[in-house]
Amino acid sequence: MNIIIHKRKQIEGVVFRVLCLFIVFHSQVGRTQIAQNEDGIDHKYVSNICYNQSINSHIKVISDLDFESLRFLDKMKFVKKSMFVKHKEYFSESGFATHDTHIQNHSKMFPKWYATPTLTRSDETGIKSFYKSDFRHLSSGWNGGTLTAADPGTGEYIEDKSEGTKYYLIPYGKDGGSAFMDFHERSLAFGFLKKYTYSLPTMDQIKLLESEGYSITYSDDLIVARGLKTSYVLNQKDKIYIEQESEDGNVIKTTTKKYKYNETIGYDLIFTTEVITPGTFTNGDCYEEIELTTYNDFSIDCKDGSLMKPRSEELDMQELLVYPNPASTEIIVDVSNISSHSTLMLKDISGSIIMQRKIRDAAKKITLDIAQIPNGVYIIEMKSSDASMNSKFIKQ
């Protein structure tokens, strides 16, 4: 077997951090899971699960802003970012819990020169980023071919020509390995569904928080746990879970999780996670960074086979200007820079066409009535003979 191993100079930053966050999400037991674990409910044991994530990030200005006084890096914060990711969790042939993620498309999430892996896998060996398609901006077709064996780094680039695979392997450190084993053991014990379901905290969890200095208050619909640096609110009526982190009396992050009943699976499952992080520009003006993650298409009957499929390297498509976003009754699509003889399509997240319009020569803007479509994440796509543009919006 002909294997070429290369050391890398630095970690694959964004993708590596995303996978680490997924492992931590799976492994958290106590504080951030007070509404999700050991609740006495007879959860269905699920040995594999698939779902999709739509991630959208933007900033909101919370004060009068002198835009011209901002520095270049501050202005770059206004760039909207989005990413659509497919997930699959299952037990591998070796018996270990495994999490595959496949970035289907993204807008402004990564720089143009970055070769996005076809699939990233978290298993007992570490975190592997597989490269199925060659990347035209690199002479060797992938990052691993540009380095030498003498290059220092955290992980290893590995090319297995007998298997036809190229991947970047980052072994777990002490904390990462512990988090993975916790994810594996909990998956063995409870299956893959439970961590995504809504449930009430147990009395043992309440007592644990009280022993750690939290004050607990109850009302008809709310359970509130207040600590020195972290507070939790559970809205039982609307199935909303809020975690707020503070430092020196100031809120530094607010995470809101909303759950929605899934008729196919028969449980209240995670629907959206919104993370709001306050920030300050270099001129002193304030803003909020908002990242909204929407979960769709949960399935506990995943088809066999890997998510690792060849796909075009050009994931970062040109983005259409769509506003308002989110919207409830109508959206406006700016088509002023689009050539005639193009087609504008509104699709659901699975790719099914909901409505379609031809673009006329004189058109500058197109208004679409979305009042009657269900709430969720949708895609606006423009296609012509020589170009393709898309954007996502949220109907709420």
Segments of the chain scoring below 70 in pLDDT: 1-43, 63, 112-113, 133-154, 303-319, 336-340, 361-363, 384-388
pTM of the model: 0.67
Residue 142 backbone phi and psi in degrees, to 5:
-155, 165
Distance, CA of 22 to CA of 77 (rounded, Å): 24
C-alpha angle 31-36-37 in degrees, rounded to nearest 5: 85
Using CA atoms, how far apart are residues 266 and 129, in angstroms rounded to an integer?
34
In DSSP terms, 357 is beta-bridged to 344
Structural domain tally of the chain? Answer: 2
Residue 243 covered by a domain: no
Regarding whether 179 and 45 lie in a shared domain, the answer is: yes
Q: Would residue 384 count as lying in a domain?
A: yes
Choosing from 238, 266, 299, the residue where a domain stops is 299
pLDDT of residue 242: 96
Specify whether 68 is located in the same domain as 164: yes
Q: Which domain holds residue 369?
A: 318-395
Alpha-carbon gap, residue 246 to 229, rounded angstroms: 5
Residues 192 and 284 in one domain: yes
What's the CA gap between 61 and 352, in Å, rounded? 35
Residue that terminates a domain, selected from 239, 269, 299: 299
Q: Are 213 and 61 in contact (CB under 8 A)?
A: no
- Do 109 and 81 form a contact (C-beta atoms < 8 A)? yes
Residue 388 sits in the same domain as residue 289 = no
Judge whether 91 and 187 are in contact, CB under 8 Å: yes
User: Does 236 reside within a domain?
Assistant: no
The DSSP secondary structure of 299-351, one letter per residue, reads ESSPPSS-S-----S--B-EE-EEESSSBSSEEEEE-TTS-SSEEEEEEETTS
* 191 belongs to a structural domain: yes
pLDDT digits (tens, 9 = 90+) for 65-114: 877 788 888 888 888 888 899 999 999 989 999 999 998 888 888 776 67
- Write down the pLDDT at residue 137: 59
Q: What pLDDT is recorded for position 160?
A: 77
- CA-nearest of 122, 163, 157 to 138 is 157
pLDDT at 239: 95
Distance (Å, rounded) from C-alpha 341 to C-alpha 343? Answer: 7
